[in-house]
Amino acid sequence: MRSSAVAARYAHRGRRLEDPVLDNLARAVGLGGAKRAKLIGPFVHRGGNIWTVAIDPTFADSEVDPFESKLCLYENGKRLTMAHSNGSAIQVGGGGRYQHWNNALYFSTTDGSNPNTNRRTYSYDFSLGLDEWERERIARASARWKQHPAGNVFLARGGDLIAPPIVANLGLTNKCNLRCEICGSQKHLDNTGVRRRHMRYETFQQVAETLFPLLSVVELNSQGDPLLHPQIEQILEVIEFHKCDVKIQHNGTLLRDAIVDVILRQHGTISLSLDAVGSKFDEVRRGGVWSKAISGLERLIRERDPRRLTIGVYPTLTSRTIGEAMNVVKWCTERGIDEIGFHRYVPIQGSDETAPTDEAYAALCDQLREWCARNNDPLRLQFEGELLSGQHAPDRRSEYADRKKVAALYDSAKLMFPMEAKRVGGDPFSSCAAPNEYVEIGLDGQIGACCRAQDVALGYATSVESFADAWLGPNYEKLRNSLKRGATGPFSLPNCEGCVKFFAPNEAGDRRAVDYSKRDCSRDHRLEFGLGSNIQIESIQKEPGLGHAAVFPLGIDGDYELWEDERRLGPGRSEHDDIRGGGNGQYDVAPNVVHFSTSDGSDARRNGRVYTLRLRPVGRTSDPVLVEGIRKEDGLAYTAVLPVALDGDYELWEDECRLGPGRSEHDGIRAVGNGQYDVAPNVVHFSTSDGSDARRNGRVYTLRLRPVRKTSDPVLVEGIRKEEGFAYTAALPAALEGNYELWEGEQRVGPGGCYHADIRTQGEGRYHVGDGVLYFSTPDGSDARTNGRFYQLRLTP
């Protein structure tokens, strides 16, 4: 019955069954796992290392499930486990790779010999489950660490269980010579004021030494155009030296002869971002001039060797350019371009471009399919990854920088974005393969999980040790676990939530990402990464009024101060309405965002200053306590909650001016001000020296521990209270022994030892030092709380 059903499937596909084929099918019927069937030739050569033979399509890999088959191939009885290999991997890598795809077995011999003449027996059963296949795959892939001179360092840290990345994208620069309306990167950089710069060549060298021995492909797809990097020729030579294929994304306008000379020596792909050709190019690529670009383009296309360098075009379809699609196709075909990958335009805030309708996209796809069929598929043509040309569109690549490295790339053949289960290009165990096989490298050598998470640095690739700490460390482990199929906890990386929901909604379900805005969020899933003691703020967003904001997706763990160049801003912990309304350097470091204003009200994105978060030094008991989180109270008063309850006798200083009197009544602080203050255990109530706004006057307020007083030291008079008439009182810190005189500044007042009634009615500096309290008057009748003078008791000589 099954043989008949299988034969019927073949007949439906228009295949004629010959006797050896029927024999292979018959042997497969009823196989339950361990029982083997012998493959019977002749085996058909498909180019390179690929041989094929018809076989039972039941439970085969297919577009419906690319990992369904459990077929295990044997060569002379030796079990081969490199199953589920795609055609390119088998063709280039050989080595016993194979795939049971639909109604055929595509396979290679272990040594590249001809299976029809090598006198070996090939047999199979259905005993290779996915778990065993994955263990064997990881073991083979992990062996690639040995390609690195320091491979043992990685293996000793767990590299035997985690394979190295296959592809890295290097952000060489965020500069671009064009300003295209379709480019979200440049618009974002312009709007946020990110500093434009190139990766330092020294940083590139460190990344190259750390990663390139492990990589199959080095992508140069920056936020800007990689060919603008001043050392691009040397960079390409280093990539060539390490035998990596290169993939360059370029706008087509910078192909001067020296660059073309180096590109022509590369193995890999150059992808040209051309939405239109001719005069229309100048219209849609602001800053581009087609007449200047065409000579470099023509030379590259004319002189490249298609066996080693693929050229593709990557047009973005907008309402303005969708009508140019056929002109682009014809221009590419006439020049022998290998592939075109059209993609949708995703609307960008502030852009003049608009997206075509779905009907317009569909109509263009129908037109392109018809054109490909009519012209016998002269090139590979896709729309959003969907192949519009026929399967037999030519692939002229046959030479590679390193065949073993390229075979490792083809072994993966995974798309670096989330995929639903059982999709071609997906991973059977992870919803997204990027954290397992791809790494994004930023301008300073920082590591990102993918191109959609460039804002989250997970470590650095500037040394073997730092890369091993990241790639084989706990953060990546949490990230990979959160992307396993069937995971139910929160996504560890915030960027993953929206990405998985967009590309693989069934995998995402109702899962959410860790909320890093809460400092107490679960540490089981949250990523932990020390920001360091000095963090430069790159991406700044404008907020209402004088406010700005800088987001840190993984949170800010530590006690940081905000600096503008070499000036410390403040006060910190300010209310957001005060930051927006008052500015003057006020800021607040929240759990995952910094809200701040500049010192002079200028735009932080464009004033040319550098803003950094600097870790506040761990204070000693004797260090000043910075007064932050200042709030306006009634009248002239302000309050600030202290980060910890203070233990000791503190004075309040305004810059380098000591305020006072301290221990003042709160009503007096509110009504009179003039520097009066009171330090409670965990809050300070105070006024400024001149009635100005403590949040905006640009002064720094600190609490400084009062020096331990010796018996001979003056006693500062604080906690002054108004009494009747001319009199004031002040509680003394402790019962004093000895005879003391009252001083106003550097002027001795008196007489002392006066009756309280005389002090009240006559004043003129009269005073009396009692047991734990001072009764006194000022020499000129002014208010002792607001006249700005300091009163001290000094021991009589």
* Mean pLDDT (whole number) for 767-773: 90
CA distance 669 to 764: 25
Least-confidence region, from 202-206, 223-227, 237-241, 525-529: 525-529
Residue 540's pLDDT is 86
* pLDDT confidence tier of residue 737, bands split at 50, 70 and 90: confident
Using alpha carbons, list the distances in angstroms from residue 764 to 699, 726, 767, 793: 35, 8, 9, 17
Residue 33's pLDDT is 47
* pLDDT confidence tier of residue 503, bands split at 50, 70 and 90: confident
In terms of Cβ atoms closer than 10 Å to its own Cβ (0-12, 13-18, 19+), residue 543 is: middle
Reported residue count of the chain is 797
Residue 764's pLDDT is 95
Residues 6+ apart with CB under 8 A from 504: 418, 419, 420, 431, 432
CA 157: distance to chain centroid?
24
CB 46 within 8 A of CB 91: yes
Residues 6+ apart with CB under 8 A from 38: 27, 121, 122, 123
Q: What is the b/e burial string over 687-709, where b = at least 16 CB atoms within 10 angstroms of the residue's CB?
A: bbbeeeebbbbebbbbbebeeee
The string of pLDDT tens digits covering residues 543-602 is 899 999 988 877 777 788 999 999 989 888 888 999 999 999 999 988 889 999 999 999
167-411 under CATH 3.40.50.150, yes or no: no
* Mean pLDDT (whole number) for 319-348: 88
Mean pLDDT across the chain, nearest whole number? 86
Residue 368's pLDDT is 93
Least-confidence region, from 128-137, 432-441, 620-629: 620-629
Q: What is the DSSP string of 576-622?
A: HHHHHHH-TT-EEE-SSEEEE--SSS--TTTS---EEEEEPPPPPTT
Residue 535's pLDDT is 80
* pLDDT confidence tier of residue 183, bands split at 50, 70 and 90: low
More confident residue, 450 or 74: 74
* Mean pLDDT (whole number) for 641-658: 84
Q: What is the b/e burial string over 761-781, where b = at least 16 CB atoms within 10 angstroms of the residue's CB?
A: eebbbbbbbeeeebbbbbeee
Q: Quote the radius of gyration of the chain (alpha carbons, Å).
A: 37
The two structure tokens encoding residue 341: 């990958």
Residue 189's pLDDT is 64
More confident residue, 481 or 797: 481
**Percent of the chain whose predicted confidence (pLDDT) is above 70:** 90
Q: Which amino acid is at 371?
A: W
CA distance 56 to 6: 7
Q: In the chain, how long is the greatest CA-to-CA distance?
A: 131
CA distance 216 to 213: 9
The string of pLDDT tens digits covering residues 190-210 is 666 666 688 899 999 999 999
* Mean pLDDT (whole number) for 686-709: 88
- Residue 229 in this model has a pLDDT that exceeds 70: yes
Neighbours of 374 (CB within 10 A): 8
* pLDDT confidence tier of residue 502, bands split at 50, 70 and 90: confident
* Mean pLDDT (whole number) for 169-185: 74
CB 535 within 8 A of CB 615: no
Torsion of Cα atoms, 512 then 516 then 517 then 521, to 10°: 90
Q: What is the DSSP string of 234-295?
A: HHHHHHHHTT-EEEEEE-SS---HHHHHHHTT--EEEEE--S--THHHHHHSTT--HHHHHH
Residue 600's pLDDT is 93
- Residue 11 in this model has a pLDDT that exceeds 60: no
Q: Which long-range contacts (CB under 8 A, 24 or more apart) does 499-502 make?
A: 499/417, 499/418, 499/432, 499/452, 500/418, 500/431, 500/432, 502/418
Closest by CA position to 486, among listed 509, 466, 464: 509
- Residue 532 in this model has a pLDDT that exceeds 70: no
The two structure tokens encoding residue 481: 């676990």
Residue 392's pLDDT is 59
Least-confidence region, from 476-480, 519-523, 793-797: 519-523
**Any idea what DSSP says for residue 125?**
E
The string of pLDDT tens digits covering residues 748-760 is 999 999 999 999 9
CA distance 301 to 393: 19
CA distance 647 to 231: 58
CA distance 482 to 460: 22
CB 654 within 8 A of CB 688: yes
Residue 747's pLDDT is 93
- The residue ranges of DSSP E strands in 706-766, in sequence order, are 715-716, 720-722, 728-731, 740-744, 747-748
- Residue 17 in this model has a pLDDT that exceeds 70: no
* Mean pLDDT (whole number) for 449-462: 84
The two structure tokens encoding residue 717: 């008079």
**CA angle at 597 for the pair 594 and 599, rounded to the nearest 5°:** 130
CA distance 715 to 728: 16
H-only helix segments in 111-159: 130-142, 151-154
Residue 362's pLDDT is 93
Residue 28's pLDDT is 43
The two structure tokens encoding residue 411: 């072994």
Q: Are strands 386-387 and 380-383 parallel, antiparallel or unpaired?
A: antiparallel
Closest by CA position to 493, among listed 387, 389, 418, 543: 418
- Residue 12 in this model has a pLDDT that exceeds 90: no
The string of pLDDT tens digits covering residues 24-55 is 444 444 344 457 899 998 999 998 899 999 99
* pLDDT confidence tier of residue 133, bands split at 50, 70 and 90: very high
Q: Which amino acid is at 281?
A: F
Residue 23's pLDDT is 43
Neighbours of 116 (CB within 10 A): 12
Residue 454's pLDDT is 77
* pLDDT confidence tier of residue 2, bands split at 50, 70 and 90: very low
Domain residue limits, the chain? 2-128, 167-411, 446-508, 534-615, 619-707, 709-797
- Residue 6 in this model has a pLDDT that exceeds 60: no
Using alpha carbons, list the distances in angstroms from residue 296 to 256, 270, 306: 6, 13, 17
Using alpha carbons, list the distances in angstroms from residue 696 to 447, 570, 593, 641, 702: 39, 9, 22, 18, 16
* pLDDT confidence tier of residue 8, bands split at 50, 70 and 90: very low
